[in-house]
Amino acid sequence: MKLYEYEGKALFKRVGIPIPNGVVTSEPIKWEGKAVVKSQLLEGARGKRGLVRVTEDVYNTILELKKLGIEKFLVEEFIPHEKEFYASILLDRETAEPMLVLSKEGGIDVEQAKDVKKMIIPLERGVRSYDIIEAEKYLGVKGLSPIIQGLYKLFVEYDAELVEINPLALTNDGKLVALDSKVILEDNALYKHEDLLKELGRQEVRDSYVELEGDIGIIGNGAGLTMATMDLVKLNGGNPADFLDVGGGASREHVRESVLKVGRNPKVKKIVINIYGGITRCDEVALGIVDALKEIKKPIFVRLLGTNEELGKKILRENGVNVYDDVLKMIGDAVRS
């Protein structure tokens, strides 16, 4: 679960990471002096889209941004600074330990940074004094301790997937301040943090749906098979509109909801469904598809294989749905239709 910038910063404050003074608002407010008005959206690249503005006129800036449909703003004091760095912690999958990532090039996409330092900080020992010395020497600054300790604490205690400060500013008077926050909590661990969810007014949602740019809706069972189906559509000249994995043992109702979810996306012109029934029953899937077709009228191409496949195919054929044995033929037909 990705947190909003202001939510992430509230957590930063709690663990002792310095942040600018600011307020969260959904209405225009009066503000003395120079400020940064930051639209609170979960998508990135807010700066490039002109949704983060430095201004002396906070009131009217918020009014303008509201016209663009933005609902929530973080208004912060403007902090003059000399340098911007990057700092984050995420899990290193190879060592199964937290990894601190630092860069002297802050404020840009870290993937584009040429100068990056990665330090493994094992769970068993946590952050130690010599880690701080190494990090401070690399960035050429002092006072990193509360920042690294804070990030690490957030990462471990809140089961985060990623805690990121980009940029971490070095102010003209030599202080380090987190100008932005990116905190992604691990969905699987949210049940341990009910208090935090309550505080944020958020709910645990579990969803494997990912929206993409194209016009062919994709549904599969199993992440690998669903991804492979997306890739096949692309290789055959089509463009996937989404990724939706119905998971193992999907019920009729779950399949119906999934087909409706994909079908209701206005960009979707047709839907490809690829099912290998292991613990999933093809007849349940077929019934779910037929149910959904009562509510949406878009062409559907289905490949069913595995448990109860004959029954599933029969149900689909009786309801006039295109059903295939061969995945490649199904995708070819779907792309060309």
Partner 1 sequence: MLKYGTKIVAGVTPGKGGTEVHGVPVYDTVREAVKEHEADASIVFVPARYAVDAVYEAIDNGIKLIVVITEHIPVLDMARLVKYARARGSRIIGPNCPGLIVPEETLIGILPARAFKKGNIGIVSRSGTLTYEVSELLKNTGMGQSTVIGIGGDPIIGTSILEVVKMFDEDPNTDKIVVIGEIGGTMEERLAEAYKRGEIKKKVVAYIAGMTAPKEKRMGHAGAVVYMGMGTFESKIRAFKKAEIPVANTPYDIPKLLLS
**Residue found under tokens 């993409």:** 212
Q: Which is nearer to partner 1, 22 or 220 (CB)?
A: 220
Taking the complex as a whole, the smallest distance from the CB of residue 156 to partner 1 amounts, in Å, to: 7
Q: Do the strands 81-92 and 97-103 form a parallel or antiparallel pair, or are they unpaired?
A: antiparallel
Active site residue 164: yes
Taking the complex as a whole, the smallest distance from the CB of residue 192 to partner 1 amounts, in Å, to: 7
Q: Which is nearer to partner 1, 31 or 243 (CB)?
A: 243
Which among 4, 86, 152, 324 is annotated as catalytic? Answer: 86
Residue 279 CB contacts under 8 Å (≥ 6 apart), including other chains? 248, 249, 307
Which candidate, 219, 306, 302, places its Cα nearest to that of 229? 219
Taking the complex as a whole, the smallest distance from the CB of residue 155 to partner 1 amounts, in Å, to: 9
Active site residue 136: no
Amino acid identity at 230: M
Q: Which is nearer to partner 1, 27 or 94 (CB)?
A: 94
Q: Which is nearer to partner 1, 133 or 279 (CB)?
A: 279
Taking the complex as a whole, the smallest distance from the CB of residue 275 to partner 1 amounts, in Å, to: 8
Binding site for partner 1 (CB under 8 A): 90-91, 93-94, 96-97, 101, 110-111, 123, 156, 159, 161-162, 186-189, 191-192, 206, 208, 210, 212, 220-228, 230-235, 240, 243, 245, 247-248, 276-280, 305-307, 327-328
Supply the residues annotated as catalytic.
86, 164
